[in-house]
Amino acid sequence: MELLKAALLGLVAAVALPMVFGGPSGAWMNSFAASGTIAPLAGSPGLLISLPVLAGVTILSWLFFGWSNG
């Protein structure tokens, strides 16, 4: 897997997970996971991006799918 594709997969996960767990007023922001979560647009009603999830999913998918390609 190319690094750009892995980064896109990581970005999707980094946006989806905080939204699934309640957005800005939900369980995600009331837990330890909020420490690496940013709101990129000040006027947005609920867009969040989790930087640790972005980095973790990108690196793990790049390593795993790159290894399986041979």
Question: The whole model's pTM is what?
Answer: 0.84
Distance CA 26, CA 69 (A): 39
Q: What's the pLDDT tens digit per position in 21-63?
A: 988 888 988 888 889 998 888 777 788 999 999 999 999 999 9
Residue 41 DSSP label: -
Distance CA 20, CA 66 (A): 28
Distance CA 47, CA 32 (A): 18
Residue spans of the domains in the chain: they are: 3-69
Distance of CA 28 to the CA centre of its chain: 12
